[in-house]
Structure formats: structure tokens, C-alpha cells
Amino acid sequence: MYGGEGAVLAAMGFLSFIWFVVFVVAYILKSLGISALAANRGFENPWLGWVPIADLYLLGMLVGSMDLFGIKVDKLEIILPAAMVGGFVLSWIPFIGQLLWLALTVFFIVFVYKLFEMYTSNAILYTALSILLCLLPIFLFIIRNNPPLLQPQNPNNQY
């Protein structure tokens, strides 16, 4: 191997390691934030914030329901994980999958806005920065101890 190729491989390995560390830190911050929000609301299993897909269940429980362009969406604890998993699976279908993924992106942006609206007065700023700069894990960690400003809209939610 020549010196130039070794340097490129070393740089790629270093950058891969940096991305791995960033991913792990983001995962820890997100999980701590969701678990703390769930524990503060008295949810039975806040540790689910550490489990992929189950963390979406907890986020759905936190919000309860939302208004999506005039349509009331209830049971977010079921719809959010199912939509994200289903959207991932169906996104591989040409054209239809792309339209579905676009719709899910809009759905998730509205959901994130509603979540931040419940816990902070800067919901628009937090949502925009979460989407544009991928700061959702950091903001979930920041708001983890905030009391809800708004109560969830789901009357069936016992929490």
C-alpha cells in the first residue's frame, strides 16, 4: 500500500469513528430525554425510551393526539410507531414509496411541533432547528424536566 492510500483509509476510519461517537451521544441524549419526559408524566415504563420503536410509542403517549390540517389524529402511541415502520418498509416501492415518505415527513414535522408546543414556548424554533440541523435529540434532552405547558388532547390517555 502506498502512503497516499493509507492516509485516505486512515482519514476515512477516523471520520467513521467520529460519526459513530456523534450517533451514540445523540442516541443517549434522545433516550434520556424521552425517558425523563415519560417518568415526569408518571408513565409506567419510562425505560422504553431506550428501545427503538418503543420510544416512538412513548412520544405518541406524551402528545396524545394532534390536529393534522383539520384532521384529528388520535392514538398517536399506535399511529406514530406503525407509520414510521410502515413508511420505512413501503418507501422502497418506486414513486408510491416516495410520496408516502414525503407525507410521513410532513406528519413527523407536525408531530414534533406539537411535542415542543407542549413543553416549550419556542416550539417553532425548536422544530425548525430539529429538522434542519438534526438537533431533536439535544432538544429532547433540554426539555426533559420542563413541566407540560399544554395537556395532551387524548381523553383516553390515562396518564
* Tens digit of pLDDT at every position of the chain (159 positions): 566 888 899 999 999 999 999 999 999 999 999 999 999 999 999 999 999 999 999 999 999 888 888 889 899 999 999 999 998 888 888 888 889 999 999 999 999 999 999 999 999 999 999 999 999 999 999 999 999 987 765 544 554
Residue in the structure block whose three cell numbers are 467520529: 18
- At 159 the pLDDT is 47
Q: Which amino acid is at 126?
A: Y
Measure the CA–CA gap between 65 and 71, rounded to whole angstroms: 10
- At 3 the pLDDT is 67
- Around Cβ 65, how many Cβ atoms within 10 Å? 20
- At 2 the pLDDT is 61
Specify whether the CB–CB gap between 124 and 117 falls below 8 A: no
